[in-house]
Structure 1
Amino acid sequence: MGNAQEKPPGCTAAGRPAKGSSNGAPGDSSPAGRRREPRRPAVDTSYLDAPAGALPPHLARLKNQGNHLFKHGQFGEALETYTQAIDGCAEAGLDSPEDLCILYSNRAACYLKDGNSSDCIQDCTKALELQPYSLKPLLRRALAYESLERYRKAYVDYKTVLQMDTGVQAAHDSIHRITKLLIEQDGPEWREKLPEIPKVPLSVQQQHREKPASIEMAQARAARAAQSEARKQEARFTLLKQEGNDLVQKGQFEEALQKYADCLSMKPDECSLYTNRAICLLKLNRFEEAKRDCDSALQLEPTNKKAFYRRALAFKGLQDYLSASSDLQEVLQLDPKVREAEQELETVTGLLRQSLMHKDVHTARV
């Protein structure tokens, strides 16, 4: 169950108010198999598509809203929304252990994201009272215990997780790490000081063994589809870029601009696209736009010689000869053998002198 493999949070900020966002754990614990959501930087969205169960529509909407907020990194707002759903269940007299377990588990994920390990533990414990041997609340509680340096309790929860699913690599890694800490802390008798590790019923173990198979099949299908789409996108990108390069060779700069723009919509962090597009803009005397593209290229690659050289040409077109000179000197510092930069520097230096002389004459007349 790869979507349950969470990395331990930092061991700080225990009990901090649950507002804003920080590093922590993913979202909801669903017992049903589902297709894994696409990966997003810093946010695990595996909590999505949890079963609605017995929740009435207005509470189901709150839970889905909380999922949406969590997905977009708005952990404080998601926490408040899950709280409203939990309170709504109490007001409606709703007794659905499965749904309430998910809501408490989701809210625990928000607390963990915010570094509020104490409240995370409390919510995970409630979730486990409702649905004993739920994998994600156990794993989140273990992470929270570990962040508070309550290593014995963390060890017990990780061990319980591994009875249910031996494939949770995060639990294996944490067990290995915590074992070393406990040996240092308690000596050779460290096992004797552990709380009792619950024995997970065989029926529960079997249930968790059956689920990963269907999940893994769905994930494999999704991975194959994603790989196929990625190959198609890569082929299209390569074709568009080559077409743009060919159009530049033919002097068709307007047409090449569109090809490079299409490429940038697919790979906005490809430095060469900005420097290539800058050539077209320079040829079309669109110097300010060429400068901006070179700026973008230098943000991605601060030592890119082409970006410095082409930005110098843009500055020259804008009659900012001092900036052009500075960029050309940067090129020569990176590579003294760039003959074009030497020639341009001579030209720009002459233009700079002329502009300064003209300015002095104008000042004298005034």
Structure 2
Amino acid sequence: MAVQQRSAVTAIAGVDAIVNRDRVNHLNCRKAQVLAFVAGRSPWWELLLHGALGSTFDVYRHCYRRKGYRWDYPAPYVRDEDLAALGWFCGRQARADLDEVRAALPQYLANDQPVLFMAPRADFPYWVDFMRRHGTIEAEYRELHSFMVCGLSADGETVLIVDNTTDNHEYTSFLIPMADLAAGYAREPERWFTDCQTLLRVGEPDLAELALRYHAAVSGYADRFEIYELIADSLPVERAAIAETYRTPSVNSLALLAGSRTMFCRFLRRTSHAPEVPARYERLAAAIGAAQERAGRYHAGAAGVSLDELRRRLRALRAQEEQAARALRDDLRRAPVTFHAAGG
């Protein structure tokens, strides 16, 4: 077994290859962790992003109607079924108790499989520190977060958790006493060790199947991109009603749009699409990212950011989306897409 020694804890192989692949910071915690882990072990990981465009109406419904954040959006990419097509087994269990977790960890970790579970983030001191630094409202401290266990001490009393609570959202390792997990579980057992998951590479990618899924996604892609006009209308209302920028539907929507388009660009670079297609989406992703930054500054009352400017940007973004989607569909009609190896 290939292992790495870190203090008194033995870690699974490849912990150092777990790096952040979501620079926009828009994915929910579990998807971001799965993507970071798989990307460190599979040269085809970008194919998990074939459905990244998604529906802008779904983004609107989540952020505006449900008042959801970017981090709890059920993104239509990095899905279990696509992991399976990529050659990965994704084992899930809805709930476990503390004794089950203690008994199962050594076997999974010895097989170089991470173990992921949900638990209240306020039960972890490093998370409390992160939330205080970033101005999280106290009512949200006990929300659930995905924790990824990647190592264990020989006596089973210390776990190594890899998480991205650094200021640049890069992954780092935290040594957590098993006693802390036991104490948290004792306080609120019904919210601990839920949605347990592990990952194991079991085969090679089915490139033909992934190409079919991509073709189906684009063939059925119909979007009018009204969300950009809705964002423009909501900006002044949000500035008056919501204190924290991270809670605003406009900034959350733009983060999801910038993140999904950025991820889609990663996928497009692995395809046989004409160079014009990824180039359009790269320009679009950059423009949405700039609009997100400007919208955040507008909400904070920064000088030099006007509502008129943001409305012009948002109108231009809708036009860019329409043009990019048209070019994508036209190119796919000309020839079926194939995938090439990284660097190819």
Normalised by the length of structure 2, the TM-score is 0.21
The answer to which structure, 1 or 2, has the higher relative contact order (CA under 8 A, 6+ apart) is 2
Structure of larger gyration radius: 1
